[in-house]
Structure 1
């Protein structure tokens, strides 16, 4: 656990870009390339805007910088969101992986090419974006995700009816007349789009296998984030805080106390990095600040691994093999000091079963016959 650095706020876009890349270097090595790529792409995309006339990109960059610093300093909620973006569970990379999932496979032989041409025969003038999707592959993956039973996914769960939109598509309108073809097509596209928004797309096999090795403890090579480097200081700077500094009373005179002390609030200290010098007992620790350990990293990455899958095409026949991350929870064996409690434990007796094969829960008392 480390407090955010009290570095002066970046003033230029290039300075902000360097600060973002510096915070990215303290992420786990497996999640670092994806976050680095997103920052670089967004900087190159927004570099042509006039920052004086449209400063929203600078404000968004400062917001992301504060969130990254808080995540690297021990904010588990923000770190989980960073990992979800890095592994394509939410955000831009998820949309890229979904677009790769619904993309039709390139025909490799004459039979596949003929099947693809037959599916589009007679409909060349009315093609739309749904015709370019491989809806059968999307349906198969959605059913696999439904059967996997994901724990705490960032998207809403998939229902059984959503995997077959053509079955729940209405055939009549409100007046009992047949539904027009254009309206039916629009409703069908909307259903497939809502299904794609809930998909947790598959990861590349190499990335998924590395994530699995980290969770199971069989990874080879460094996988933990590096420690934070100390802040560089000049030769003329004094490392010790100066005593007797003047109190900035002007802010308290023209603003409410709650507004002035907002950066030093325990809930905001991970975002601002401010130090509370007015508390008599010293600077209090921020709320929700945790210490990152190898076990904590494995648990966080384990939740991401259970939300991801790998998809490989079968060598023979149609279809694909989908494997979801599933961690088996096995109870630990007792150590030598506690084995004495299990050596002389009596065996459990088998329950008594009646002749009819049913267990007697409330046996009735035998009736007494007089005479």
Structure 2
């Protein structure tokens, strides 16, 4: 997609909504489903709040500029858009975490009796129920331990430590005055510790979505997964007349040059879409603008897949099966033209270990 994109600024909320949906249509199909869902849900939620309409429009314009810059070649912003689309950050991540910690509804009398037996000591100890009682702590602990063993690279969240999955051991026995810790204070500390651990979780994705990512990364995807090319932008008569009028000298007369030329700066051009007509050598290319290729897309999807997992309960009902996206990195085989460089090459000898010093 060319980065020289001049689209009129939306004036009404409905116009902005259409621009956002149009811009999300140029995302990869697998990420577009989640992006469209988030745009529609946010529009329906914010249109009822009349008092903050101006703020919602400003936020929408900011998201529109980010989407345009990402589609224009800003790879860092595109990577962040994909992180939000696949629930590694943002609102969808919170929804996936809430599904992860939610307890399974008892389906028979035996499971209901087991649930009542687990809750009875807590109700007797704390007298009241809170949101932590609705969390499946063992399920969260198991997934957090699996995430620690996966050793995620370049995660948008801080890594989980082994001590954070056993917060019960970190609770102090006494307060600062040497007295037994009150039950309510201990419960509050326990909730805060579990909340800090849940904030670092990379929640599991649905199995179908995770397998679609796997097929793209491994190169076995059958359906069309690359984004569509941008359609040509129609240009009205009024825009052509405005372009032929020349440069706006009034702005340079009343404002500093740095302020007037700021939208055409190479660092801001992907966000503003402004063309620099004052440079003698022509419109310079923006900083950080990349040309998306199938290889670049596959690398970004591989980054998302390495941060994703699936979690399914075992058929016997004891434990969970967790699979993380890990691509086996195998060295390329030697071509016939390169064999001569490795022929008769001496093998490295093992270093001799020093023995104990004689006493």
Calculate the TM-score normalised by the size of structure 2: 0.93
Q: 1:5 to 1:350 in 2, by over 3 A?
A: closer
Show the 5 A alignment for 1:36-115. 36-50=36-50, 54-115=53-114
The alpha-carbon deviation at position 348 of structure 1 amounts to 2.6
Q: 1:351 to 1:16 in 2, by over 3 A?
A: closer
Show the 5 A alignment for 1:277-292. 277-292=277-292
Contact in 1 for aligned 2:171/2:189 (Cα 8 Å): yes
Contact in 2 for aligned 1:4/1:70 (Cα 8 Å): no
After TM superposition, the structure 1 stretch with the greater mean CA deviation from structure 2, 256-265 or 106-115, is: 106-115
Partner of 1:14: 14
Cα distance in 2 between the residues matched to 1:217 and 1:35? 24
Q: 1:4 to 1:205 in 2, by over 3 A?
A: farther
Cα distance in 1 between the residues matched to 2:345 and 2:273? 60
The alpha-carbon deviation at position 238 of structure 1 amounts to 8.8
CA distances 1:86-125 after superposition (whole Å, capped 9, x unpaired): 0000000000000000011122333222110111226185
Q: 1:263 to 1:242 in 2, by over 3 A?
A: closer
Cα distance in 1 between the residues matched to 2:348 and 2:278? 68
Partner of 2:295: 295
Partner of 2:150: 148
Partner of 1:170: 172
Contact in 2 for aligned 1:4/1:69 (Cα 8 Å): no
Q: 1:194 to 1:362 in 2, by over 3 A?
A: closer
Partner of 1:368: none
Q: 1:206 to 1:242 in 2, by over 3 A?
A: closer
The alpha-carbon deviation at position 47 of structure 1 amounts to 1.0
Partner of 1:367: none
Show the 5 A alignment for 1:321-340. 321-340=321-340
The alpha-carbon deviation at position 347 of structure 1 amounts to 5.5
Cα distance in 2 between the residues matched to 1:233 and 1:349? 67
| Root mean square deviation, CA, Å | 2.2
Contact in 2 for aligned 1:98/1:201 (Cα 8 Å): yes
Rg: which structure is higher? Answer: 1
Point out the structure with the larger helix share.
2
- Runs of at least 4 residues of structure 1 off by over 3 A? 236-243, 349-352, 359-364
The alpha-carbon deviation at position 163 of structure 1 amounts to 0.5
CA distances 1:21-65 after superposition (whole Å, capped 9, x unpaired): 0000000000111110110011111112337x6410000000000
Provide the secondary structure at the position in 1 that maps to 2:181: coil
Q: What runs of 5+ residues in structure 2 fail to find an aligned partner?
A: none
Contact in 1 for aligned 2:46/2:53 (Cα 8 Å): no
Calculate the TM-score normalised by the size of structure 1: 0.90
Q: 1:242 to 1:28 in 2, by over 3 A?
A: closer
Cα distance in 1 between the residues matched to 2:238 and 2:184? 72
Match of 2:225 among 195, 219, 223: 223
Cα distance in 1 between the residues matched to 2:42 and 2:133? 31
Task: Number of aligned residue pairs: give it.
Answer: 354
The alpha-carbon deviation at position 280 of structure 1 amounts to 0.5
Show the 5 A alignment for 1:187-336. 187-234=189-236, 245-336=245-336
Q: What runs of 5+ residues in structure 1 fail to find an aligned partner?
A: 353-358, 365-371
The alpha-carbon deviation at position 339 of structure 1 amounts to 2.2
